[in-house]
Amino acid sequence: MSAHITKGRPIVIEDRLLIRRFNAGDMDSLRRIYEKYKPDLLSVARALLNDASAIDDVLHDVFLRFASQAGRFRLRGSLKGYLAICVANRARNTNRQQRHKLQGDSKLGPSNLPDPLQVAGHAEQHRILACALTQLPQEQRQVIVLHVLGSLRFSEIARQTGNSINTIQSRYRYGLAKLLSLLNGEVDL
């Protein structure tokens, strides 16, 4: 995969070509984008969702909406960053809808929701980490997941979310500090 630098931002040539083909109506380029970023996007969804059964639905919804933009999609920043932010936003909306649905049922609460990493069969340490992540404020959780699992730079997260880079970095620092406090030696980071 080739890349060059323009105005200090890396631009992935392959993504630009895929977007150009996508906008020209080539649906094979959409399939290629999906296959290229699916593993990273699933990791982001898995880490942010309270309901493991919604992971595929979130990814599906994001790509349906993305596909509807064929012919008029304009990429500002990285394609991976754009898609990861879309997944994070959709995951947040899904969690919010799930909370509202659960509020009507007095027998269920957030602690009864399945742990996404445990359901996916990850090791015990991942389960503990996922549980700790759910205890973070949503903004801190999102920044940590996008930076660590999504491999996005703070500047990309700031640009995509409309927050300042200082705000993003602060959320990351405070989130990590709270995670370390919550984990208190239970997980080797």
Q: pLDDT tens string for the chain (189 positions)?
A: 444 444 444 447 889 999 999 999 998 999 999 999 999 999 999 888 877 788 999 999 999 999 999 999 998 888 999 999 999 999 988 888 777 666 655 444 455 555 444 444 444 666 677 778 888 898 998 898 888 878 788 998 998 889 999 999 999 999 988 888 888 755 554
Look at the block and give the residue holding tokens 């730079």: 153
Q: What pLDDT was estimated at residue 127?
A: 67
Is 110 a domain residue?
yes
Cα 113 to its chain centre, rounded Å, is 19
Tokens for 17? 């070509």
Is 74 a domain residue?
yes
Q: What pLDDT was estimated at residue 102?
A: 63
Is 149 a domain residue?
yes
Is 143 a domain residue?
yes
Tokens for 64? 């349906």
DSSP 8-state secondary structure symbol assigned to residue 136: S
Q: What pLDDT was estimated at residue 117?
A: 41
Rounded distance between C-alpha atoms, residue 93 and residue 98, angstroms: 9
Q: What pLDDT was estimated at residue 109?
A: 47
Question: Count of residues for the chain?
Answer: 189
Is 86 a domain residue?
yes
Q: What pLDDT was estimated at residue 24?
A: 95
Alpha helices in 49-137 (DSSP H): 55-67, 79-103, 116-119, 124-134
Q: What pLDDT was estimated at residue 120?
A: 43
Tokens for 33? 């984008």
Is 1 a domain residue?
no
The total number of structural domains that make up the chain: 1
Is 188 a domain residue?
no
Domain that holds residue 96: 7-183
CA-derived radius of gyration, the chain: 18
Is 189 a domain residue?
no
